[in-house]
Chains A and B, each alone.
Chain A
Amino acid sequence: MVRNKYVLFFFCLMAGGMFIWAGALKIAEPLEFAQSIRNYRVVGQEPAFAVAVVLPWVEVLSGACLIAGLFRRASALLLSLLLAGFIGLVASVVWRGLEVDCGCFGAMSGRADGRLILQDAVFLFFTLNVFLSRENGISLFKPRRDK
């Protein structure tokens, strides 16, 4: 596990920045994102729409919290859970032999394939390290001492 505060902050910047960027791209086009979710053939139209409306905002907020150092471990855990979910979803697509656009970066999305799983795994490594680290690291907010 990484303990160096500069390396951890680098992880926060990378993962947080990626989620802010990905979320912002999807916020602009909720219907497009809803269809992308629908294409995974896991949920119906209504849940896909609900997720499309809410998820990009959760991504942006978590990413911003991770970088700013506000609720850092909570946002790192939340992003880890999201990434684990994405990996599972993309793996299921590969397993089922479906050819779908991942929908993760709006217009800049690529195919949901093994490369995407690898990319998500790298970010999962970053967020898990931040979550598991006791080091508060570089933060815009003064960390409170846990009781």
Chain B
Amino acid sequence: MNGKKLFREIILIVAAGCFLGMAVNFPLVSRFARGEFKESFLPAELYPGIAFIARAEAEDLFNRKQAVFIDSRSGEEFDAGHIPDAVNISLDEAKKGFPGGEPDFLKEKLMVLYCRGGDCRQSVTLSRLLYDRGYKNIKIYQGGWDEWHRAGLQEEKGHGQK
């Protein structure tokens, strides 16, 4: 097989991948182009203390009770179902400057932030906000509530009803 043919075939596979990726994600790409996700990514060099974790690590921290889980979704979503013992700090509430009082007790603890999962970025935005206010020990569980729920793990409804 000559190099030219090999190169052509590689280009074909990559081009097909580009086309499919752009076509399937077109709505997401449009939103990104409009700048909708500008604040939704975490520049790791500016926030060195924040780490992203997968479900296995989130589960491990939950089972060993080594972290406080922070649910960054709205109160209604939180009531409909959340990770047991999670604290609901919605992004909107945090942006308003914690009307219920600054949760200082969390400053000493490891926090695991999550939101719905998928294209939700509230947990990332909340992590930036909390980090800037002095909460430095933060992990973000990217899979979020949807993934936790789908995996059939323990959950809680309302404010403490298992």
Report A's interface with B, CB cutoff 8 A: 27, 29-32, 34-36, 38-39, 41, 45, 48-49, 53-62, 65, 71, 73-75, 77-78, 98-101, 106-110, 146-147
Which residue of chain A has its CB nearest to the CB of B148?
A107
Which residue of chain A has its CB nearest to the CB of B12?
A71
Q: A31-B119, A41-B44 are in contact. Are A58 and B13 (CB under 8 A)?
A: yes
The answer to the question of B45 belonging to the interface, with a C-beta cut-off of 8 Å to chain A, is yes
How many Å lie between the Cα of A32 and that of B156 in the bound state?
A: 25
How many Å lie between the Cα of A147 and that of B44 in the bound state?
A: 51
- Closest chain A CB from B35 CB (angstroms): 11
CB contact between A57 and one of B17, B28, B42, B124 (< 8 Å): that residue: B17
A73 contacts across to B, CB distance below 8 A: 1, 6, 9
Determine if A146 and B5 form an interchain contact, defined as CB atoms under 8 angstroms apart: yes
- Provide the B96-113 mask, 1 if CB < 8 A to any CB of A, else 0: 000000000000000000
Determine if B13 and A54 form an interchain contact, defined as CB atoms under 8 angstroms apart: no
B143 contacts across to A, CB distance below 8 A: 32, 106-107
Determine if A74 and B13 form an interchain contact, defined as CB atoms under 8 angstroms apart: yes
CB contact between A100 and one of B51, B56, B121 (< 8 Å): that residue: B51
- Closest chain A CB from B46 CB (angstroms): 11
Segment touching A, from B19-27, B66-74, B75-83, B86-94: B19-27
- Provide the B32-57 mask, 1 if CB < 8 A to any CB of A, else 0: 10000100111111000001111110
The answer to the question of B118 belonging to the interface, with a C-beta cut-off of 8 Å to chain A, is yes
Shortest beta-carbon contacts, A-B, top 5: A58-B17, A74-B9, A57-B17, A54-B21, A71-B9
Q: A34-B41, A61-B16 are in contact. Are A78 and B52 (CB under 8 A)?
A: no
The answer to the question of B2 belonging to the interface, with a C-beta cut-off of 8 Å to chain A, is yes
Determine if A58 and B14 form an interchain contact, defined as CB atoms under 8 angstroms apart: yes
Which residue of chain B has its CB nearest to the CB of A62?
B13
How many Å lie between the Cα of A60 and that of B5 in the bound state?
A: 21
Which residue of chain B has its CB nearest to the CB of A56?
B21
Which residue of chain A has its CB nearest to the CB of B50?
A39
Determine if B44 and A61 form an interchain contact, defined as CB atoms under 8 angstroms apart: no
Determine if B41 and A45 form an interchain contact, defined as CB atoms under 8 angstroms apart: yes
Q: A58-B13, A146-B5 are in contact. Are A35 and B42 (CB under 8 A)?
A: yes
- Closest chain B CB from A49 CB (angstroms): 6
A31 contacts across to B, CB distance below 8 A: 28, 37, 40, 118-119, 121
The answer to the question of B147 belonging to the interface, with a C-beta cut-off of 8 Å to chain A, is yes
How many Å lie between the Cα of A41 and that of B37 in the bound state?
A: 18
A108 contacts across to B, CB distance below 8 A: 54-56
